[in-house]
Amino acid sequence: MKILLLSFFLVLCSLLYSQGNLQFNQVLTYSQSHGLAGCGSNVCSWTGPTYAVPVGKVWKIEYFAQAGQYPASLVFNNSFSITSINSSPLWLKAGDQVQLKTGCISANCLSGGAYLLSIIEFNIIP
């Protein structure tokens, strides 16, 4: 009887506190060339499209590369940004957003640049 009660308790706890498994879904590659715009008062900028993690998915950002004279930043959830991904990938949950932004504050702003973003998308299996 004690073993049955203990087994029931362990199964109940594992169901309540399980986190689910990840299943590979697809590789996403976003790349785009861009130019700087709005160069009034020596301030130029470019804001790329917003990419959002779909419901029931998790993203693992594996690679981010950029080309151009002015550094671009990946902006996460409109709150913080990074300019490179070093040795460890970034994980994003459903609903998180990422956007690329770049700009120049100078009388000699040159336009042009490009970026490449590589993401592995996983399904969350309960």
Set out the domains of the chain in order of their start, with CATH numbers: 20-125 (2.60.120)
pLDDT at 108: 66
Output the six-digit token pair for 64.
């981010």
For 37, which DSSP code? B
- State if pTM tops 0.85: no
pLDDT at 23: 95
Q: How far apart are the first and last CA of the chain?
A: 30
How far is the C-alpha of 115 from the C-alpha of 33, rounded, in Å? 7
Among candidate residues 73, 75, 70, 67, the one with its CA nearest the CA of residue 50: 75
**Beta-sheet strand order (sheet of 21-34):** 21-34, 113-125, 57-68, 90-92
Q: What is the identity of the amino acid at 18?
A: S
pLDDT tens figures, 74-91: 899 988 888 777 778 889
Consecutive H or E run containing 86: none
